[in-house]
Amino acid sequence: MIDPIHFVVFSSILLLIGAYGVIRNKNAIVVLMSIEIMLTAANINFVAFSSYYHDLTGQVAVLFVTTIAAAEVAIGLAILLSLFKQRDTIELDLLNTLRW
Amino acid sequence: MSEKDLDSSNVDLLVTIFGSLALALGLLLFLVQEDGTSPVNVAWLIPVFSIVSFVLILLLGSYDPRRGGSIAVIGVGFSSVFSFGVAYDVLINDVTNGGYIESTRIWFGGQTFAFEFGTYIDGLAGLLLLVVGFVSYLVVVFSLGYMVKDGDRQVRYFAEIALFVGVMLGLVIANSFLLMFIFWELVGVCSYLLIGFWYEKPSAASAAKKAFIVTRVGDVFLLLGLVILFNTFGTLRYSELFGDPELLSENAAAVKWATLCIFGGAVGKSAQFPLHVWLPDAMEGPTTVSALIHAATMVKAGVFLVARSYPLIVHSPDTALYIAVTGGVTAFIAASMAMVMYDIKRVLAYSTISQLGYMFLGLGAGAWAVWHAAESGIEIQAQGYTAGLFHLMNHAFFKALLFLGCGAVIHAVHTQDMRKMGGLRKAMPITSTAMGLGVLSIAGVPFFSGFWSKDEILEAVHHNWEAEGIFGALWWLGLLTAAMTAFYMTRLWMMTFSGPAFHEVEEVIPSDDHSDSGNWKVLKKEVKIQAHEAPLVMTIPLMILAFLAVFSGFMVFLGEGFGSVVFYGTPPSSEGPIQWGLLDHILLSSLTYLSVLVGLTGVILGYLFYKRGNDGQTPFSTAFVSDNIVTSNLHTFLSNRMYMARLFDWFGMRTWDTLAMACDWFDRNIIDGIVNGIASITEILSGQVRKLTSGFTGHYASLTIGGLGALVVITRVVFPLMGWSL
């Protein structure tokens, strides 16, 4: 029997993987992808508890999250594209003009 | 505009002067007819005219060919005509019936009291209106000639002088101590502006500052006195304060301190010892301003204040005695310094201080006599009050005359040093005659105006001698001062006007062998004095004032007599159109002969000492001063103004500079230390904190996640363990 605990542990692992990707990666596109992983972790929680409580609200929330994530990726990629036009790079470590 | 242009445009000046006076008279008559009452009802317009002309001159002055002079003459002329109207109604028609007429409006009100402004016209205000209005108007007319060489800056001059006259007239007719105080301060500001008129001269700038700061010392006392009065009686209106003598005598202590403080204000404004130091320096302004300050405005405000507070002062014998002593001592000290000054304006300045001392002596003696009479239950009128104010009026005329004459002399010879003058009598016949009459008047020569009033003051002081010994000393001081006054005024006239019309000038030139030896030699040569008589616009005011300086003294006899309109207590009984009784009294009194003797001695000594010989020198006085060790030391002592200026300087160095240095140290080390310490601590901390802003996205993300994690751990693990709840 698959308990909610399994989903929770799985989504936590996914979240940590995403976070690790955000922290460690230097390529902005990979960071965006990692953020998507973290969103997926949240979605899994929603779906798991939705089915556990027989409540569709969670699944509706997932639809919203997916939509917003898509929009977010579109904007993020557009930013990266114009950034690349200006700076010829999307290496995050090189984009540090605001440091102290 | 040169003097020649001025002469050719005299017609428009005459039109301006007489046209504005006629217009003002017409307006006054129209207003009076409209109201069907006396000019007293429109007294509030008096200062308004001058103050409005002040604004107009500032706005339009530069379009006026006389640079604002015409507007000033018109504005001050309107004020003067209205002043005369009021003074005529009060002094001649006696509309106040020996009391007062007050009109008042609410200015702003609170729950328990309201400040009001309005006019309070009585004999005193009428007298001051007459004197201030008249003398100011003549001074403004005189300025038209005197200030011509200042070009466009006359706009500022005329604007300030119109304001000066306006606020002084306002001070005189104000109906409460509060309103009076406002005008009082405005008078101070105007005198500051006018003394510093030639502000690019450092001496003028510092003299203006000195006048302002020294009088400010007095003003603080005055304000303190008003606060005491308001706290005790809950009002500052004259009519309410003066109307209840019993309430005043119940609060004797408060009245005593209040009047002492108020007199402190008068000491500052009227340049009495020890705050007299500003007046001689105030000579840095234009001479017309000096004339105005000395004769009509500013210093007369102090005398007016004391006379106005008379109903309070008569309840405090200490204040009255203090006023008399201050007056007597100041009169003597100032006269002694006037005897040795060489600057013609400084002599007149010290003479003013001395004469103001006389007025205070008279007022103080009168107030003391009233108190004493009330104590011992005898009926007495305050002779000193009438005498002091009589002297104020006479002094206004002869001192304005002397100052304007002195202005004409300075205008002609371009120096203020009397040693460089002499022999001007032929060159300036009108000025020298007019000033001669002024000198005789202030010296107390019989039948000139100064004689009557000075004699009355001395008599009032002598009268108190029986009851209080200190008045004996004051009487002797006053008598001695009378002799000294006669002496130094004669000296002034002799040094300026007597002697030959040639001057011996020493010039240092290179000697014949100068190119080899570098020697210089002194060449003495004779130069004819280049002076000439002043233009008519300046001499006519002189002639009018000379007439008054000679004859204003007779006002004490003519009609009901001066004492029947300006008095405190009960007026003396009238004896028809001419007061023969008073004349008899004066002519038959031995005191009169004593003071005449003393005055003539002074005049004769002054003549002997300072008559210039054919070579223009005054050998007798030179020998007297330099040969004798006592007199030469005394001369040095007095020439240095009794070292009082230096004493003040030394006092300032020792106390205020030490205090200032202590404050400076405290400021630099303690205050700055605290501020700098906080700043450097913040800087160090922020230097550490800003390193968090590394610019690496990963760092920010780790901090966010780490922070979130820490929050979760704290709320979910630590809190339950410690037993806390959110």
Contacts of B697 in chain A (CB under 8 A): 31, 92-93, 95
CB contact under 8 A, A19 and B696: no
Contacts of A92 in chain B (CB under 8 A): 696-698
Q: How far apart are CA B411 and CA B414, in angstroms?
A: 6
pLDDT reported for residue B74? 86
The answer to whether A87 faces chain B, any CB pair under 8 Å, is no
The DSSP-derived string for B3-66 is HHHHHHTHHHHHHHHHHHHHHHHHHHHHHHHHHTS-GGGGTTHHHHHHHHHHHHHHHHGGGSTT
pLDDT reported for residue A71? 94
The answer to whether B688 faces chain A, any CB pair under 8 Å, is no
Contacts of A22 in chain B (CB under 8 A): 698, 701
pLDDT reported for residue A61? 93
The answer to whether A97 faces chain B, any CB pair under 8 Å, is yes
pLDDT reported for residue B579? 65
Contacts of A98 in chain B (CB under 8 A): 693, 695
pLDDT reported for residue B2? 40
For residue B272, give the nearest of B320, B214, B231 by alpha carbon.
Answer: B214
pLDDT at A41 over 90: yes
Look at phi and psi of residue B104 and say left if phi exceeds 0, alpha if psi is from -120 to 50, else beta. Answer: beta
Closest Cα in chain B, distance from residue A27 (Å): 11
Closest Cα in chain A, distance from residue B679 (Å): 20
Beta bridge partners of B121: B101
pLDDT reported for residue B5? 46
Closest Cα in chain A, distance from residue B214 (Å): 58
Distances (CA, A) of B400 to B290, B294, B406, B438: 9, 7, 10, 9
Residue type at B609 in one-letter notation: F
Contacts of B698 in chain A (CB under 8 A): 22-26, 92
Question: In this predicted complex, what is the ipTM?
Answer: 0.80
Which helix (H) or strand (E) element contains residue B520? strand B520-528
pLDDT reported for residue B713? 92
CB contact under 8 A, B696 and A96: yes
Q: How far apart are CA A32 and CA A70, in angstroms?
A: 11
Q: How far apart are CA B174 and CA B473, in angstroms?
A: 37
B207-253 pLDDT tens trace: 888 888 888 888 999 999 999 988 888 888 888 888 877 887 788 88
Nearest CA in chain B to A20: B702
pLDDT at A1 over 80: no
Contacts of A100 in chain B (CB under 8 A): 690-691, 693-695
pLDDT reported for residue B1? 37
Q: How far apart are CA B383 and CA B398, in angstroms?
A: 22
Nearest to A100 among B693, B698, B705 (CB): B693
Please identify every stretch of chain B with a pLDDT value under 50, giving residue numbers as ranges.
1-8
Cα angle: B598, vertex B600, B601; to 5 degrees: 65
Look at phi and psi of residue B569 and say left if phi exceeds 0, alpha if psi is from -120 to 50, else beta. Answer: left
The answer to whether B702 faces chain A, any CB pair under 8 Å, is yes
- Cα-Cα-Cα-Cα dihedral sign, residues A85, A88, A90, A92: negative
User: Coil, helix or strand for B637?
Assistant: helix
For residue B265, give the nearest of B314, B296, B297, B225 by alpha carbon.
Answer: B225
Q: How far apart are CA B101 and CA B97, in angstroms?
A: 9
pLDDT at A64 over 80: yes
Classify each residue of B227-239 as buried b or exposed e, where b means 16 or more C-beta atoms within 10 Å of its C-beta.
ebbbebbebbbbe
pLDDT reported for residue B547? 85
Interface test mutation site (partner A, options B685, B705, B712, B716, max chain A beta carbons within 10 A): B705
CB contact under 8 A, A92 and B701: no
Nearest to A98 among B691, B695, B705 (CB): B695
Q: What's the pTM?
A: 0.74
B508-539 pLDDT tens trace: 666 666 666 666 666 655 556 566 666 777 77
Closest Cα in chain B, distance from residue A11 (Å): 16
pLDDT class for A74, splitting at 50, 70, 90?
Answer: very high
| Residue A59 or residue B283, greater confidence | A59
Distances (CA, A) of B188 to B15, B32, B182, B195, B240: 33, 33, 10, 10, 27
Contacts of A97 in chain B (CB under 8 A): 695
User: Coil, helix or strand for B604?
Assistant: helix
pLDDT reported for residue B454? 84
Nearest CA in chain A to B701: A23
